[in-house]
Amino acid sequence: MVSTEYERRIAARFATFDQDGNGYIDREDFNAATKAVLTEFGVRARSDKGQALYIGAEAFWQGMAGIADRDGDQRITRDEFVGGAVKRLRDNPDRFAEIARPFLHAALAVADTDGDGAATVDETARVLRALGAPGEVAAAAAASLDTDADGRIGEKEVVGAFARYFTVPE
Ligand code: CA
Ligand code: CA
Protein backbone atom coordinates (compact mmCIF):
# COMPACT_ATOMS: atom_id res chain seq x y z
CA MET A 1 0.00 0.00 0.00
CA VAL A 2 1.34 3.40 -0.99
CA SER A 3 -0.39 6.19 0.86
CA THR A 4 -0.25 9.90 0.22
CA GLU A 5 1.29 10.38 3.66
CA TYR A 6 3.96 7.81 2.83
CA GLU A 7 4.76 9.56 -0.47
CA ARG A 8 4.93 12.93 1.26
CA ARG A 9 7.39 11.62 3.81
CA ILE A 10 9.54 9.97 1.14
CA ALA A 11 9.59 13.24 -0.81
CA ALA A 12 10.77 15.08 2.30
CA ARG A 13 13.60 12.57 2.88
CA PHE A 14 14.64 12.78 -0.76
CA ALA A 15 14.68 16.59 -0.61
CA THR A 16 16.91 16.42 2.48
CA PHE A 17 19.55 14.57 0.46
CA ASP A 18 18.97 16.50 -2.81
CA GLN A 19 20.59 19.62 -1.36
CA ASP A 20 20.75 21.52 -4.67
CA GLY A 21 17.21 20.50 -5.62
CA ASN A 22 18.04 19.34 -9.16
CA GLY A 23 15.98 16.16 -8.87
CA TYR A 24 18.68 13.60 -8.14
CA ILE A 25 21.13 12.84 -5.38
CA ASP A 26 24.80 12.76 -6.28
CA ARG A 27 28.22 13.53 -4.83
CA GLU A 28 27.67 17.26 -5.33
CA ASP A 29 24.79 17.19 -2.85
CA PHE A 30 27.07 15.72 -0.19
CA ASN A 31 29.73 18.31 -0.97
CA ALA A 32 27.11 21.06 -0.74
CA ALA A 33 25.96 19.76 2.65
CA THR A 34 29.55 19.68 3.87
CA LYS A 35 30.23 23.24 2.69
CA ALA A 36 27.03 24.49 4.33
CA VAL A 37 27.92 22.99 7.71
CA LEU A 38 31.52 24.26 7.59
CA THR A 39 30.34 27.74 6.59
CA GLU A 40 27.80 27.82 9.43
CA PHE A 41 30.55 27.19 11.98
CA GLY A 42 33.34 29.11 10.25
CA VAL A 43 35.48 25.98 9.91
CA ARG A 44 37.94 25.85 6.99
CA ALA A 45 37.77 22.95 4.52
CA ARG A 46 41.52 22.39 4.90
CA SER A 47 41.39 22.08 8.69
CA ASP A 48 41.37 18.66 10.37
CA LYS A 49 37.67 18.97 11.21
CA GLY A 50 36.91 20.15 7.66
CA GLN A 51 38.79 17.25 6.08
CA ALA A 52 37.10 14.75 8.38
CA LEU A 53 33.69 16.06 7.33
CA TYR A 54 34.55 15.81 3.61
CA ILE A 55 35.86 12.27 4.09
CA GLY A 56 32.71 11.33 6.03
CA ALA A 57 30.52 12.85 3.32
CA GLU A 58 32.33 10.87 0.60
CA ALA A 59 31.90 7.64 2.57
CA PHE A 60 28.22 8.46 3.09
CA TRP A 61 27.77 9.10 -0.65
CA GLN A 62 29.58 5.88 -1.59
CA GLY A 63 27.42 3.93 0.85
CA MET A 64 24.20 5.45 -0.48
CA ALA A 65 25.26 4.88 -4.09
CA GLY A 66 26.09 1.26 -3.27
CA ILE A 67 22.61 0.77 -1.87
CA ALA A 68 20.53 2.77 -4.33
CA ASP A 69 22.31 3.60 -7.60
CA ARG A 70 21.08 0.59 -9.51
CA ASP A 71 22.17 1.71 -13.00
CA GLY A 72 25.55 2.93 -11.79
CA ASP A 73 25.35 6.40 -13.36
CA GLN A 74 26.50 8.08 -10.10
CA ARG A 75 23.07 9.62 -9.61
CA ILE A 76 20.28 8.46 -7.35
CA THR A 77 16.93 9.28 -8.89
CA ARG A 78 13.71 9.51 -6.94
CA ASP A 79 12.76 6.02 -8.20
CA GLU A 80 16.10 4.58 -7.15
CA PHE A 81 15.75 6.30 -3.77
CA VAL A 82 12.29 4.86 -3.16
CA GLY A 83 12.97 1.40 -4.60
CA GLY A 84 16.51 1.03 -3.31
CA ALA A 85 17.45 3.25 -0.41
CA VAL A 86 14.16 3.49 1.43
CA LYS A 87 13.30 -0.18 1.21
CA ARG A 88 16.78 -1.44 2.06
CA LEU A 89 17.28 1.05 4.85
CA ARG A 90 13.96 0.01 6.35
CA ASP A 91 15.04 -3.62 6.16
CA ASN A 92 18.43 -2.82 7.67
CA PRO A 93 18.62 0.41 9.71
CA ASP A 94 21.94 -0.69 11.23
CA ARG A 95 23.52 -0.64 7.80
CA PHE A 96 22.34 2.93 7.35
CA ALA A 97 23.76 3.96 10.72
CA GLU A 98 27.05 2.42 9.63
CA ILE A 99 27.35 4.43 6.39
CA ALA A 100 26.16 7.69 7.99
CA ARG A 101 28.25 7.47 11.16
CA PRO A 102 31.57 8.99 9.93
CA PHE A 103 29.75 12.01 8.51
CA LEU A 104 27.60 12.49 11.61
CA HIS A 105 30.61 12.02 13.89
CA ALA A 106 32.55 14.67 11.95
CA ALA A 107 29.56 17.04 11.85
CA LEU A 108 29.20 16.83 15.64
CA ALA A 109 32.92 17.59 15.99
CA VAL A 110 32.46 20.70 13.83
CA ALA A 111 29.42 21.73 15.88
CA ASP A 112 31.22 21.13 19.22
CA THR A 113 32.70 24.62 19.26
CA ASP A 114 34.16 24.44 22.79
CA GLY A 115 35.65 21.00 22.18
CA ASP A 116 34.17 19.34 25.25
CA GLY A 117 33.19 16.22 23.29
CA ALA A 118 29.51 16.90 22.65
CA ALA A 119 27.43 19.43 20.75
CA THR A 120 24.80 21.44 22.57
CA VAL A 121 21.15 21.39 21.49
CA ASP A 122 21.60 24.84 19.90
CA GLU A 123 24.73 23.77 18.04
CA THR A 124 22.94 20.69 16.74
CA ALA A 125 20.01 22.85 15.58
CA ARG A 126 22.52 25.01 13.66
CA VAL A 127 23.77 21.89 11.83
CA LEU A 128 20.21 20.91 10.88
CA ARG A 129 19.45 24.46 9.70
CA ALA A 130 22.64 24.47 7.62
CA LEU A 131 21.38 21.24 6.00
CA GLY A 132 18.14 22.97 5.06
CA ALA A 133 15.72 22.24 7.89
CA PRO A 134 13.42 25.17 8.70
CA GLY A 135 14.36 26.93 11.97
CA GLU A 136 11.52 25.69 14.15
CA VAL A 137 11.82 22.13 12.79
CA ALA A 138 15.58 22.16 13.44
CA ALA A 139 15.12 23.43 16.99
CA ALA A 140 12.45 20.84 17.81
CA ALA A 141 14.45 18.01 16.23
CA ALA A 142 17.61 18.97 18.11
CA ALA A 143 15.73 19.19 21.41
CA SER A 144 14.16 15.77 20.82
CA LEU A 145 17.64 14.28 20.31
CA ASP A 146 18.62 15.20 23.85
CA THR A 147 16.88 12.21 25.35
CA ASP A 148 18.45 12.52 28.80
CA ALA A 149 17.89 16.32 28.87
CA ASP A 150 21.46 17.25 29.83
CA GLY A 151 21.66 19.82 27.00
CA ARG A 152 24.28 17.85 25.10
CA ILE A 153 23.97 15.67 22.01
CA GLY A 154 26.25 12.66 21.58
CA GLU A 155 27.07 10.57 18.54
CA LYS A 156 24.93 7.64 19.62
CA GLU A 157 21.83 9.82 19.95
CA VAL A 158 22.39 11.41 16.53
CA VAL A 159 23.15 8.22 14.62
CA GLY A 160 20.11 6.45 16.08
CA ALA A 161 17.77 9.34 15.37
CA PHE A 162 19.10 9.76 11.85
CA ALA A 163 18.51 6.11 11.06
CA ARG A 164 14.98 6.32 12.49
CA TYR A 165 14.22 9.46 10.46
CA PHE A 166 15.13 7.76 7.20
CA THR A 167 13.48 4.47 8.09
CA VAL A 168 10.07 5.45 6.80
CA PRO A 169 7.31 3.04 7.75
CA GLU A 170 4.82 2.27 4.99
CA1 CA B 1 21.05 17.06 -6.34
CA1 CA C 1 21.32 5.99 -10.89
Higher confidence at residue 137 or residue 48? Answer: 48
> Amino acid identity of 104?
L
* Tens digit of each residue's pLDDT (9 = 90 or more) over 42-70: 999 999 999 999 999 999 999 999 989 99
Q: Give the burial class of 167: count Cβ atoms within 10 A of its Cβ; 0-12 exposed, 13-18 middle, 19 or more buried.
A: middle
Could you give the 3-state DSSP secondary structure of residue 153?
strand
* Mean pLDDT (the chain, rounded): 88
Residue 45: what residue type? A
Domain spans of the chain, in order of start: 4-167
Number of the ligand closest to the Cα of 81: 2
pTM for the model: 0.88
- Residue type at 67? I
Q: Does the pLDDT value for residue 106 go beyond 90?
A: yes
pLDDT confidence of residue 168: 60
What element of type H or E holds 152? strand 152-153
- Which ligand gives the minimal distance to the CA of 67? 2
CA 32–ligand 2 middle distance (angstroms): 19
Asked whether residue 130 carries a pLDDT value surpassing 70, the answer given is: yes
Residues linked to residue 153 through DSSP beta bridges, in sequence order? 119
Q: Output the CATH code of domain 4-167.
A: 1.10.238.10
Helix (H, G, I), strand (E, B) or coil at 114: coil
